[in-house]
Amino acid sequence: MSEYIEHDIDGISVGIVEKKFFTFSDPPGEMTLESGSRIGPVTIAYETYGELDRDRQNAVLIMHALTGDSHVAGYYSPDDKKPGWWDIMVGPGKGIDTEKYFVICSNILGSCMGSTGPNTTNPLTGRAYGHDFPVVTITDMVRAQKRLLEHLGIEKLLAVIGGSIGGMQLLEWCVRYPDMVTAAIPLATTTKHSALAIAFNEVARQAIMADPNWNNGDYYEGERPDTGLAVARMIGHITYLSDEAMRRKFGRRLQGKSDFSFNFGADFQIESYLRYQGTKFVERFDANSFLYITKAADYYNLGRHYGGGSLVEAFSKTRAKFLVVSFTSDWLYPTYQSKKMVQAMKKNGLDVSFCEIEAQWGHDAFLLPSERLTSLLKGFLDRVYTEDPQR
């Protein structure tokens, strides 16, 4: 996902928030991963907003996408320049109302925003894991989140909400821990990557691994593979937009010049935009995390994992109420993929609503201000909150 960190135009915010950490699976009780590898200790960075009500029935878990973090909303300090990545949606009176719900978001296992990942120190060597970090899967990420919820004393989630790779974690939650999830809102997501999605990820990974500084993932004490990571990010940004979005936003306009420079500088605005996004990204993200998380997303296949190849069988394990949302111009996870999961839910008699939002901004649309999306989330959450028999 892109960085669309926007201040709320009305200035409404959840306020000052704090990033917290939870560490578990200390050796010798390491966490066994899906691959069979073991890892420990594991730290998960997380944030919470709002108050957990007395009967602990108003918890909402938000799951971030590829490059996101636990910082969904609010500010770390009064002079913090940027709010969290979904500040427009999460806060008092917003789509996900922090006056009503207890909102939790954690950084995924394998990332680099506070949770254990390849840039974490390996207790066995005293150096960063680098390429020794075991391959983690979406299942592993969700199992780590489950540990965090146990730590927070939450046995029931009113709703899980996630877009893109966050949506995959959400689906995993629904089939793996069906008794814990009352409702789910998968946004712009899929039950498995298409060849197109894997192809883009592979090119992005190749860009990182072709950077001599990558050094087989062992670069934390020297130069970093910034060029490779920047190119990987540029590829990502192409997949997050759409033909229409790029035509509207950039067209063939030139950047700060009236004619071609007849060299390989950035002539076109789109070139300049992608370069800027790439350069900015390397300041905040770790190349190895990019490799691990994209691989986890490519491996994910809900139907194969839980249904012997049948999505209908996989969804028979869940009892959540769903609101599935896709966006017309999303070519990374097109609407037909959302419809496939909706179909499987219907075949299981699940309570499912589906809306395809007309949007020109491609995959990124789920992060952009949208009254439609806000009111959908608000209405659906209101309903499941009211209907919840436990309350």
Could you say whether residue 389 binds other proteins (CB under 8 A)? no
Residue from 352, 364, 366, 367 touching other proteins (CB under 8 A): that is 352
Residue from 3, 6, 30, 351 touching other proteins (CB under 8 A): that is 351
Which tokens hold the place of 310?
Answer: 């049948």
Could you say whether residue 161 binds other proteins (CB under 8 A)? no
Could you say whether residue 386 binds other proteins (CB under 8 A)? yes
- 363 in catalytic set: yes
Encoded amino acid at 214, one letter: W
Q: Which DSSP string do the residues of 54-106 spell out, in sequence order?
A: TTS--EEEEE--TT--S--SSBSSTT-S---TTTTTEETTSSEETTTSEEEEE
- Catalytic residue among 164, 316, 326, 338, which? 164
Could you say whether residue 346 binds other proteins (CB under 8 A)? yes
Could you say whether residue 353 binds other proteins (CB under 8 A)? yes
| Phi and psi torsions of 327, nearest 5° | -125, 135
Residue from 135, 266, 355, 368 touching other proteins (CB under 8 A): that is 355
DSSP character for 50?
S
- 330 in catalytic set: yes
Cα–Cα distance, 121 to 127 (Å, whole number)? 5
Q: How far is the CB of 272 from other proteins (least distance, A)?
A: 35
Residue from 51, 336, 379, 391 touching other proteins (CB under 8 A): that is 379
Residue number with CB closer to other proteins (38 or 378) = 378
- Catalytic residue among 87, 363, 364, 370, which? 363
Which tokens hold the place of 138?
Answer: 């979406």
- Kindly report the CA angle at 194 between 193 and 195, in degrees rounded to 5? 120
Q: How far is the CB of 80 from other proteins (least distance, A)?
A: 33
Residues 288-327 that bind other proteins (CB under 8 A): 321, 323
- Catalytic residue among 87, 97, 330, 364, which? 330
- 305 in catalytic set: no
Q: Where are the beta strands (DSSP E) in the chain?
A: 20-24, 31-32, 38-39, 42-49, 59-63, 90-91, 96-97, 102-106, 157-163, 181-187, 321-327, 352-357
Cα–Cα distance, 329 to 48 (Å, whole number)? 32
Q: How far is the CB of 73 from other proteins (least distance, A)?
A: 22
CA dihedral 141, 350, 186, 136 (to 10 degrees): 20
CA dihedral 19, 11, 274, 329 (to 10 degrees): 100
Cβ(173)–Cβ(44) below 8 Å: no
Could you say whether residue 342 binds other proteins (CB under 8 A)? yes
Q: How far is the CB of 370 from other proteins (least distance, A)?
A: 11
Residues β-bridged to residue 157: 181
Q: Which stretch binds other proteins (CB under 8 A): 115-123, 132-140, 167-175, 348-356?
A: 348-356
Residue from 343, 360, 368, 388 touching other proteins (CB under 8 A): that is 343
Q: How far is the CB of 327 from other proteins (least distance, A)?
A: 11
Could you say whether residue 372 binds other proteins (CB under 8 A)? yes
Could you say whether residue 380 binds other proteins (CB under 8 A)? yes
Cα–Cα distance, 125 to 114 (Å, whole number)? 20
Q: Which residues have a catalytic role annotated?
A: 164, 330, 363
Residues that bind other proteins (CB under 8 A): 321, 323, 339, 342-343, 346-347, 349, 351-358, 372, 375-376, 378-380, 382-383, 386
